[in-house]
Chains A and B, each alone.
Chain A
Amino acid sequence: MTATVIDDELAFAGRDKAAVVGIGQTAFSRDSGRSVLSLATEASLKAIADAGLTVDDIDGIVRCEQDNVRPYSLAAAIGAKNLHYWADTGPGGVAPCMMMGLAMGAVMTGQAKAVLAFRSLNGRSEMRLGGTGRHDAIEVVGGFGSYDEFYLPYGLQSAGQTFALMARRHMLEYGTTAEQLGAVAMACREHANQTPHAQMNGRPMSMDDYLASRMISTPLRMFDFCLESDGACAVVITSAERAKDLAKPPVLIRAVAGGAPQDHRPGMMFPVVSREDMTELGGRQAGAELWRRAGVGPEEMDLAQIYDCFTISVILQLEAYGFCGKGEGGPFAASGALRKGGQLPINTGGGHMSEGYVHGMNHIVQAVRQLRGEADMQIPDAELCMCTGGPLPIGSSVVFRKAA
């Protein structure tokens, strides 16, 4: 069909046409003592300076819909007077990879010349995402399309509990073990120990340490969980053409794709329990389209930043994005593949597990560092790096490429 050909031309038209040219971050901590706007401002100004641009060059801002910093407030705070484009995406940790798509689209269609993408949160000191906020005497929960009324009143109240239900299923079906989950946590910790700014730097972890950590929601332990962090990350995206003249080696956005799972249910994360196969992610559909658009496959990635809200999340995504077969994520992790020198080093700054939890955005910054060759724990000759976003309820992914 003619229409299909036209669609495919557009799908590939974005390949290598936009680039990340600046990166910035704040310190990651348990209590920043500052507002999220202050954090976002610092990360953004650093990213703009890193690119060799000025605030006057920034005419677009994209963000995560859960961010408490509004794009226009950030523009005001940094003094960007030429704002002509802004957009929100999500949900939650799914946002950063989709931000790359929004920025690429804005740059390619002339809606913006230089787009700032950011995430800022006091995820430990103010807005804890694990469902541990304050509670009033009587709360009525759910409704209006959230479907939370089917879950929260039963005591299913966090992402950790949801992924624990998925982890149990994976163990029942494929024999996945605690030690295999531990291999994911240990790889991230090892990488954090070679990354000075990582929150877990200087705190090595053995398998015994992992296994001895307390159960939070069986079968998941404390060290199956990511950190809760205060911090912000920001990056600047512009056209690949303009990127050639800027301060740092450009990192091209090779392809971006999101995806919804085959058995897709309405609502946020809890309805995953009704999926025919609750260990299947939209990452499978995102990945199929990502690799098609990128013209390269998982076997060609030199490294990856895999969204690690929990260890089981990484195992499920390794399967979904085709780095290993269905049910083989556990043995793949246990083989050492995820460590530096392995088949697919992941989360090379420590990831959410051990670097800090900036809701997927620190993964984007880390990917750029690696492809510039300026990472603390540098993967030699890294040319292709994929990043994933949060695995529920839908998936998102991006392939970055070092400019030739």
Chain B
Amino acid sequence: MGAHSLLPFTQDRDTAGFFEAAAEGRLVFKACLDCGHALHPPTDHCPRCGGWNTAWKDAKGTGRLHTWTTVMHQIHPDFPAPYTLVVVELDETPEVRLMGRLQGEPELREGMPMEVWFEPLGEGGPVLPQWKPVEA
């Protein structure tokens, strides 16, 4: 998908675990071990039960398309338009929705099944979990 000049900061104390897992080909989300509440964007305190007992949990890597937009007006030189941004709701929990990017202007519909894949951003660079429609 072209050059990758926009890299995620992967050393943040609240979010590093997401990118560490992605580098190993795993999709994870932060959740409260006491009440089960999923936390995204991740925090280490659970606002639902007030607990601090939170951890990264493995996700199956499947979800449903919640919304999308096809970007026709290019903003960043390394993100040539058109491309389509997708918001995918994890099958495990509707509390976590993640971004993905598809090339061009694909035919999409609400709720369509999506699956994760992992996009390395250059040699030795960070890895982004990405999404694509499940092949029929």
Contacts and interface: CB of A to CB of B under 8 A. Distances in A.
A219 B76 CA distance: 20
A215 interface: yes
Interface in B48-81: 66-73, 75-79
B121 interface: yes
Interface of A: 130-132, 135-145, 147, 149-158, 161, 164-166, 168-169, 172, 214-220, 265-267, 271, 273-274, 276, 278
Given A161-B85, A168-B69, A274-B41, A149 B10 contact: yes
Nearest to B72: A215
A266 B30 CA distance: 14
A320 to B, nearest CB: 18
A218 B10 CA distance: 30
Interface in B94-115: 94-101, 110
Contacts of B5: 135-139
B68 A165 contact: yes
Given A140-B7, A153-B8, A274 B97 contact: yes
Contacts of B76: 131, 135, 155, 157
Contacts of B68: 165, 168
A149 B67 contact: no
Contact of B72 (A145, A153, A166, A217): A217
Contacts of A265: 40-41
B105 to A, nearest CB: 8
A177 B15 CA distance: 38
Contacts of A273: 66-67, 87, 97, 99
Nearest to A133: B75
A227 B101 CA distance: 28
B13 to A, nearest CB: 9
Contact of A149 (B8, B69, B110): B8
B41 A156 contact: no
A151 B99 CA distance: 7
Contacts of A150: 8, 15, 18, 41, 98-99
A314 B62 CA distance: 34
B119 to A, nearest CB: 9
Nearest to B1: A155
B7 A158 contact: no
A135 B79 CA distance: 12
B128 interface: yes
Nearest 8 pairs of A and B residues by beta carbon: A143-B9, A149-B8, A164-B69, A143-B12, A147-B41, A154-B99, A216-B73, A218-B70
Contacts of B117: none
Given A153-B128, A217-B69, A217-B71, 7 more contacts: A140-B7, A155-B85, A161-B85, A165-B87, A218-B69, A219-B69, A273-B87
A172 to B, nearest CB: 5
Contacts of B40: 265, 271, 274
B46 to A, nearest CB: 13
B67 A278 contact: yes
Contacts of B78: 135
Contacts of B87: 165, 273
Contacts of A145: 14
Contacts of A143: 9, 11-12, 15
A138 B78 CA distance: 10
Contact of A154 (B43, B73, B100): B100
Contacts of B70: 215, 217-218
B43 A266 contact: yes
B75 A165 contact: no
B71 A276 contact: no
Contacts of B94: 276
Contacts of A164: 69
A142 B6 CA distance: 10
A289 to B, nearest CB: 20
B118 interface: no
B15 A149 contact: yes
Contact of B128 (A140, A154, A220, A276): A154
27 contacts: A130-B75, A140-B9, A141-B8, A147-B15, A149-B19, A150-B18, A150-B98, A151-B99, A153-B4, A153-B121, A154-B85, A154-B130, A158-B75, A161-B71, A165-B67, A165-B69, A172-B110, A214-B73, A215-B73, A216-B71, A217-B69, A217-B71, A220-B69, A266-B43, A267-B41, A276-B94, A278-B67
Contact of A153 (B7, B14, B18, B96): B7
A75 B94 CA distance: 50
